[in-house]
C-alpha cells in the first residue's frame, strides 16, 4: 500500500473558525476524515501533520522521506508564498508532491498569486475547497 503524507502549514488548524467566508465552516479534523475515506477507496494509507512552524514542516518532510513515504500532498498556507526552505525540502525528498490551496490564490491578494513551493510539486490545485485534496489523492498514483 502506497503511503501519502498530507502536510498542513500555519492557520490550517483554524479551519472552521478562520474566515469562514473564504474557507467554510468545516474543520481540519473534518478534512482529514474526508481524505482518509477517499484514500481507503483508492487503496492508499495516509498520515497527517500540521504546524505553524516552518522548521517543523521541513523536519517532518525529511523524517517522512527517511521512513519511506511515497508521496506528499501539501498546503503550506502562507509559507507557500515565501519559503525556499520548504521548496528545497520537497525537492530534496525526491518524492512526488501535489500542492493544494483551499481558496483560489489567483483571486486573492497580489502577494498570494505566486507560490514558491509549487515548483517542487508535480501539480497545484487551487480554489476547489476541500475537494481539491481528493483530486490530489486521485492524481498522485500516476506519479508513483
Catalytic positions, written as ranges: 23, 101
- The DSSP H or E segment spanning 96 is none
Greatest alpha-carbon span in the chain: 40
d(CA 144, CA 126) in angstroms, rounded, equals 22
d(CA 3, CA 5) in angstroms, rounded, equals 7
DSSP class of 53: -
Reduced to 3 states, what is the DSSP secondary structure of residue 48? strand
Amino acid at each position: 500500500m502506497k503511503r501519502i503524507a498530507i502536510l498542513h502549514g500555519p492557520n490550517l488548524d483554524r479551519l472552521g473558525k478562520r474566515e469562514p467566508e473564504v474557507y467554510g465552516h468545516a474543520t481540519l479534523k473534518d478534512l482529514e476524515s474526508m481524505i482518509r475515506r477517499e484514500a481507503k477507496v483508492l487503496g492508499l494509507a495516509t498520515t497527517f501533520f500540521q504546524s505553524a512552524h516552518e522548521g517543523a514542516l521541513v523536519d517532518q518532510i525529511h523524517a517522512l522521506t527517511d521512513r519511506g513515504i511515497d508521496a506528499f500532498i501539501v498546503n503550506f498556507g502562507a509559507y507557500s508564498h515565501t519559503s525556499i526552505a520548504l521548496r528545497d525540502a520537497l525537492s530534496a525528498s525526491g518524492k512526488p508532491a501535489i500542492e493544494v490551496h483551499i481558496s483560489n490564490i489567483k483571486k486573492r491578494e497580489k502577494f498570494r498569486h505566486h507560490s514558491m513551493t509549487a515548483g517542487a510539486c508535480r501539480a497545484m490545485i487551487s480554489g476547489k475547497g476541500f475537494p481539491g485534496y481528493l483530486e490530489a489523492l486521485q492524481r498522485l498514483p500516476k506519479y508513483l
